[in-house]
Chain A
């Protein structure tokens, strides 16, 4: 059974998409992982995955609209990232304005979304599907929240951001979904152990679980969304932290059988 992890943030610019790509890539070292770009109004994952216009034949939007099958949409990135044990698949969102408008107008039904998740998961026998949503609380965010097995909330140490994150925790509670708090872009000058402490306290306050605190790192910023940082820098502090977060999520969701070595 494929587990669905939704990644979300209340505000934009929290580094959500970057974290999604890095988390998915790390999980894919040992698992069969699919990534869905559900940031339908501002997709960006394909850039991080180094895809060009010609690489994308059909999009997730086409599946939702019934214009394409998962096989036509899913892009296998495993060999590109040199994955030997795990697999990484990607469902791109359309970056065509007309497609986005069509989908946003027609609206997404729970059944359609769930069906899509199921078909994608089964078509590649996936252990995990990671869904990158767009910031704020919109209809598709609510769908992702309702259909996922776990919701990772990415927030900066910022008053407005944490306020929104608290709202998201309360909403997830109504769907009885577990939430995991990831503090991202912790400013320089704040000791990381203090940030972890803040995160844990906040999680307790919001009845959520603390996942990890990631420092604001110039290395990651300087990567300028051109590639997946952990794949290029597997021995960096950031990579180790992402790896720790991935392992924690796997534990929380119940160990999926790892791909045989």
Chain B
């Protein structure tokens, strides 16, 4: 604080008008008893400052000439005097007189405000009657430093020093020593300004001693009496910590709470040393004490707490109690407790599934899954479950899954039954642990199951037939490797169709027909199989004509007629129309004879005969 110099002026102001307004209207009292108040502003200031002296007179007589001597006595007991006149107005009973020191209105041998110590102020009334020292005991103080009495600084503040009345350009030394050990903590060789002022500044270090006082001295070539010396003291810096921060407001279990704060010195600089104790209160009010240290990277003080997978969930409160931080030099803070309250929630387990994305229906599905806490550790004990669900709904299979401690993976395998449909399936893995409430998570992977086509296969009761003769087509041998056949569709090659497992058809005209069976499986995939049927022209007459190789059995013809007694017989969806059997007896005999002549047949016959004879 550098005090402004100003030229000395005296100012007398009437305030009787105001008093007049509130007066009773009675005539003024002549030679009333005056009262006086003398004040010096400011009470303390550095050398070279201008002091304002104020005389307040009340109870004065109107229309009276007043005279005052303002006498300032410096610390070396030399005086300066300023004489001020004031004549009261006709109704004026009170007034001010303001005089600046030092100033042109003063004369005498006193020093201006250039000596350390107390300056006494005396005011004598010289008119209308002499009154000595109308307000005793007024003084002001002049010093070197810019702190008011009792001259106390805190660390990191700067002590500004000013001394005056040196010769312009005069060399001067400013020293600061401790008062007991006389340790020199600051020295500055300088020169006086053109106005004769010596100024300097000492920034008090963070670790400046507070165990003893300090004495600042300014000495130049010009001797001063008293000399320019002044004591002051230094105290520990109060550290300001405005807030306690948390890296997150909501944490998951296994994540690490991170609390941060920045202690600030009085000069605005940030602390980089020291330690603080942070109290972390769990939801159940049990406390954990953490240590906060300076983190070079973030340039903050950090306190961390790694949460466990079983920690209580809810509101946790971290707080720094008053004076819980110390920078290592005794500067501490905060002044009041600061705190922050993050939430701890159950951990979301991170589940990732690895598997092929394409499988054939009824192929074994194998997959592995990693299940991790937010901190990257693996879940090793469940419950962990997985299931396969068909995108079209209606199928939901539970899939066994186990932890392989060697691979550190959860391994699952499953084979969907062959009746399960092809298409998109979702494989979901859900995990949780035994914590309360439990930590949990899940993942879904979409798999494509490719349908394997059905196999169309059929047999026919005959590959040659006469017109109108029924042929049975049997599709029983058809199958679907991964499901069931849901539809049979026959195309008999003559424009007729059928939809039964076993179909019967007769052709009306001779020719070669391609019969096609198309089967559809439960996934909608189709396959076909074909076969050829030859319909022969009917014989012209059943009379044993040499050109006709077939022999018709009369008995059989009758039997078949009996079978068909009802014309058409219906059984379920099967319709039997015609059935004619014709067996060529000659062909039977020929075939039997051929086999009989076979070597093996003859040898068996021979052996049996021998055995019988034996």
CB-CB < 8 A to B109: which residues of A?
none
Asked if residues A171 and B607 are in contact (CB atoms below 8 Å), the reply is: no
By CB atoms of chain B within 10 A, which of A157, A158, A188 has the most?
A188
Q: For the complex formed, measure the closest distance between the CB of B159 and the CB atoms of chain A, giving whole angstroms.
A: 103
B296 at the interface (CB under 8 A from A): no
CB-CB < 8 A to A157: which residues of B?
579, 581
B104 at the interface (CB under 8 A from A): no
Asked if residues A13 and B592 are in contact (CB atoms below 8 Å), the reply is: no
Asked if residues A110 and B576 are in contact (CB atoms below 8 Å), the reply is: no
In the complex, A205→B559 CA distance in Å? Answer: 12
Residues A171 and B592 in contact in the complex (CB < 8 Å), given A188-B571, A194-B563: yes
Asked if residues B581 and A167 are in contact (CB atoms below 8 Å), the reply is: no
Additional pairs, 11, CB under 8 Å, beyond known A13-B459, A167-B588:
A109-B607, A110-B611, A146-B608, A170-B592, A189-B570, A190-B569, A191-B563, A198-B560, A201-B559, A202-B556, A205-B553
Stretch binding the partner chain, chosen from A48-56, A63-71, A81-89, A137-145: A137-145
B582 at the interface (CB under 8 A from A): yes
In the complex, A195→B564 CA distance in Å? Answer: 11
In the complex, A42→B611 CA distance in Å? Answer: 31
Asked if residues A189 and B569 are in contact (CB atoms below 8 Å), the reply is: yes
- Chain A: which residue is nearest B582 at the CB level? A159
Q: For the complex formed, measure the closest distance between the CB of B178 and the CB atoms of chain A, giving whole angstroms.
A: 103
CB-CB < 8 A to A170: which residues of B?
588-589, 592
Stretch binding the partner chain, chosen from B125-133, B338-346, B430-438, B593-601: B593-601
Q: Mark A156-185, 1 if CB is under 8 A from B, else 0.
A: 011110110011001100110000000000
B288 at the interface (CB under 8 A from A): no
Q: Mark A192-208, 1 if CB is under 8 A from B, else 0.
A: 00110110011011000
In the complex, A146→B606 CA distance in Å? Answer: 11
Q: For the complex formed, measure the closest distance between the CB of B201 and the CB atoms of chain A, giving whole angstroms.
A: 103
B395 at the interface (CB under 8 A from A): no
A234 at the interface (CB under 8 A from B): no
By CB atoms of chain A within 10 A, which of B461, B588, B605 has the most?
B588
B591 at the interface (CB under 8 A from A): yes
B286 at the interface (CB under 8 A from A): no
Q: How large is the interface on A (under 10, 10 to 19, 20 to 34, 35 or more residues)?
A: 35 or more
In the complex, A154→B480 CA distance in Å? Answer: 30
CB-CB < 8 A to B591: which residues of A?
163, 167
Closest 9 CB pairs of A and B: A189-B576, A188-B571, A170-B592, A189-B571, A110-B607, A166-B588, A194-B563, A189-B569, A167-B591
Q: For the complex formed, measure the closest distance between the CB of B536 and the CB atoms of chain A, giving whole angstroms.
A: 13
In the complex, A218→B461 CA distance in Å? Answer: 18
A106 at the interface (CB under 8 A from B): no
Across the interface, A187 reaches (CB within 8 A) one of B553, B574, B589, B607, namely: B574
B223 at the interface (CB under 8 A from A): no
By CB atoms of chain B within 10 A, which of A110, A114, A160 has the most?
A110
Asked if residues A171 and B569 are in contact (CB atoms below 8 Å), the reply is: no
A111 at the interface (CB under 8 A from B): yes
A-B residue pairs in contact (CB < 8 Å), sample of 25: A13-B459, A111-B607, A157-B581, A158-B461, A158-B462, A159-B583, A160-B462, A162-B581, A163-B588, A166-B585, A170-B588, A170-B589, A171-B596, A174-B596, A188-B572, A188-B574, A188-B576, A189-B571, A189-B574, A190-B569, A190-B576, A190-B579, A194-B562, A202-B556, A205-B556
Asked if residues B559 and A171 are in contact (CB atoms below 8 Å), the reply is: no
Q: For the complex formed, measure the closest distance between the CB of A87 and the CB atoms of chain B, giving whole angstroms.
A: 29
Q: For the complex formed, measure the closest distance between the CB of B113 and the CB atoms of chain A, giving whole angstroms.
A: 121
In the complex, A188→B476 CA distance in Å? Answer: 15
Residues A194 and B565 in contact in the complex (CB < 8 Å), given A142-B600, A166-B588, A171-B592: yes
B555 at the interface (CB under 8 A from A): yes
CB-CB < 8 A to A163: which residues of B?
583-584, 587-588, 591
- Chain B: which residue is nearest A205 at the CB level? B555
Q: For the complex formed, measure the closest distance between the CB of B291 and the CB atoms of chain A, giving whole angstroms.
A: 70
In the complex, A139→B565 CA distance in Å? Answer: 43
B31 at the interface (CB under 8 A from A): no
Residues A110 and B588 in contact in the complex (CB < 8 Å), given A13-B459, A160-B462: no
- Chain B: which residue is nearest A156 at the CB level? B461
Q: For the complex formed, measure the closest distance between the CB of B537 and the CB atoms of chain A, giving whole angstroms.
A: 18
In the complex, A197→B562 CA distance in Å? Answer: 9
Q: For the complex formed, measure the closest distance between the CB of B102 and the CB atoms of chain A, giving whole angstroms.
A: 126
CB-CB < 8 A to A109: which residues of B?
607
- Chain B: which residue is nearest A221 at the CB level? B476
Q: Mark A201-244, 1 if CB is under 8 A from B, else 0.
A: 11011000000000000000100000000000000000000000
Asked if residues A137 and B472 are in contact (CB atoms below 8 Å), the reply is: no
Asked if residues B565 and A142 are in contact (CB atoms below 8 Å), the reply is: no
Asked if residues A171 and B608 are in contact (CB atoms below 8 Å), the reply is: no
Q: For the complex formed, measure the closest distance between the CB of A16 and the CB atoms of chain B, giving whole angstroms.
A: 16
CB-CB < 8 A to B576: which residues of A?
187-190
- Chain B: which residue is nearest A200 at the CB level? B559
Asked if residues A137 and B595 are in contact (CB atoms below 8 Å), the reply is: yes
B604 at the interface (CB under 8 A from A): yes
In the complex, A160→B464 CA distance in Å? Answer: 11
Across the interface, A174 reaches (CB within 8 A) one of B459, B563, B605, namely: B605
Asked if residues A190 and B563 are in contact (CB atoms below 8 Å), the reply is: yes
- Chain A: which residue is nearest B474 at the CB level? A13
Residues A201 and B556 in contact in the complex (CB < 8 Å), given A159-B461, A159-B583: yes
CB-CB < 8 A to B562: which residues of A?
194, 197
Q: For the complex formed, measure the closest distance between the CB of A86 and the CB atoms of chain B, giving whole angstroms.
A: 30
Asked if residues A167 and B595 are in contact (CB atoms below 8 Å), the reply is: yes
B575 at the interface (CB under 8 A from A): yes
CB-CB < 8 A to A139: which residues of B?
600
In the complex, A142→B592 CA distance in Å? Answer: 12
Q: For the complex formed, measure the closest distance between the CB of A28 and the CB atoms of chain B, giving whole angstroms.
A: 29
Asked if residues A166 and B583 are in contact (CB atoms below 8 Å), the reply is: yes
- Chain A: which residue is nearest B577 at the CB level? A189
Q: For the complex formed, measure the closest distance between the CB of B290 and the CB atoms of chain A, giving whole angstroms.
A: 67
Q: For the complex formed, measure the closest distance between the CB of A160 and the CB atoms of chain B, giving whole angstroms.
A: 7
Q: For the complex formed, measure the closest distance between the CB of B143 and the CB atoms of chain A, giving whole angstroms.
A: 113
Asked if residues B605 and A175 are in contact (CB atoms below 8 Å), the reply is: yes
Asked if residues A175 and B608 are in contact (CB atoms below 8 Å), the reply is: yes
Asked if residues B563 and A198 are in contact (CB atoms below 8 Å), the reply is: yes
Q: For the complex formed, measure the closest distance between the CB of A215 and the CB atoms of chain B, giving whole angstroms.
A: 10
In the complex, A195→B566 CA distance in Å? Answer: 14
In the complex, A204→B569 CA distance in Å? Answer: 27
CB-CB < 8 A to B555: which residues of A?
201, 204-205
Q: For the complex formed, measure the closest distance between the CB of A237 and the CB atoms of chain B, giving whole angstroms.
A: 15
Residues A159 and B595 in contact in the complex (CB < 8 Å), given A111-B607, A146-B604, A189-B574: no
